Chains A and B, each alone.
Chain A
Amino acid sequence: MSWTAVLALCAAAYALKAAGAFASSRGGTLASGRLDVLVVPVIAGLIAVQTFGADKALVVDERAAALLVAAVLIWRRTPLLIVALAAAGTAALLG
């Protein structure tokens, strides 16, 4: 494979991060550290896609069961490591 493609990916990935970082350091009302509300729906969207997305389709499979188990444990204030292991265990058993 060509280095050009690899370096293009690297440059684009870093440029996107840097663009956001330097835009938010410019201050102003837009970025007075109050843009953290953007992250909540984006992470929620990420959870949804990681749980139900399969290429171009939506499916309910072992990942949904694992998230349900995780949700119950989170509600019971279980440590993160246990939540992660329980989710993996559930998915491995049902998958």
Chain B
Amino acid sequence: MFDRLFRDALSIGLATGVYAVSFGVLSVAAGFSVAQTCVMSLVAFTGASQFMFVSVIGAGGSAAAALPPAILLAARNGIYALSLGSVLRRAGWRRALDAHLVIDESTAMALAQEEPAERRRGFLLTALAIFACWNLGTLAGALAGGVLGAPETYGLHAIFPAVFLALLVPQVRSREVLAAALAGAGIALLLVPAAPAGVPVMASALAALPLLVKRRAKVLA
């Protein structure tokens, strides 16, 4: 029960919780009520989009201006859900519940595991740890305001790429996959100056095309 997977999921959850406090602070400062702030974390439950949304509004933008970039940032969850086919439960309403838990961290943790049962456990533990911490942190931030200061002061912004790298490494089992990963990073970096927020990371998926074509050929052969 309290094995490596559990500890990893909990550590990611706690780091995310500190970010949630910032989100709560920022959201209330941008003019949202405590209830609205908590509903966003409970129902939208996708960090980057929520930050984008309240930042644009906080900077004086309208909802019409804030929604498109926030939705673009949320769109990659669709790609994740698409690729988690076998990790999510099959039956209709259960799948609908599981879909809610599809975020960067739960996806990366699931796919870093080898066995199907471990994938499911990694997905669920990470998602639940983050769900709990994200929502408690949001409430604390919305009620208490900026007690902690910016997470960047503690270097917390550097945790996420480090954790994602650790979860990515076990998945790179061949040269082709390594090439796809590097190409994905390259596509994203090229697009950062040109494309709206959210688009660069989504466009990285294009780097998987050669792998998909090859697998398809295998299936049909």
Residues of chain A having any CB pair with chain B under 8 Å = 1-10, 12-14, 16-25, 29, 31-53, 56-58, 62-63, 66-67, 69-71, 74, 79-81, 83-84, 86-93, 95
Contact = CB atoms under 8 A, between A and B. Distances in A.
B106 to A, nearest CB: 11
Interface string B42-84: 0111100110010001000001001100110011111111111
A92 to B, nearest CB: 3
A6 B32 contact: yes
Interface in B150-165: 152-165
A43 B171 CA distance: 11
B180 A41 contact: yes
Given A47-B185, A84-B11, 6 more contacts: A21-B98, A42-B76, A43-B108, A74-B165, A84-B162, A86-B162
A17 B45 CA distance: 11
Contacts of A39: 79-80, 83, 107-108, 111, 171
B84 to A, nearest CB: 7
A23 B63 CA distance: 29
B158 A91 contact: yes
Interface of B: 4, 7-8, 11-12, 15, 30-33, 36, 39-40, 43-46, 49-50, 53, 57, 63, 66-67, 70-71, 74-86, 88, 90, 95-96, 98-100, 102, 104, 107-108, 111, 152-169, 171-172, 177, 180-189, 192-193, 200-208, 211-212, 215-216, 219-220
Greatest chain A CB density within 10 A among B66, B96, B164 is at B164
A32 B220 CA distance: 13
Contacts of A13: 43-46, 49, 71, 74, 77
B81 A19 contact: yes
Contacts of B36: 1, 3, 6
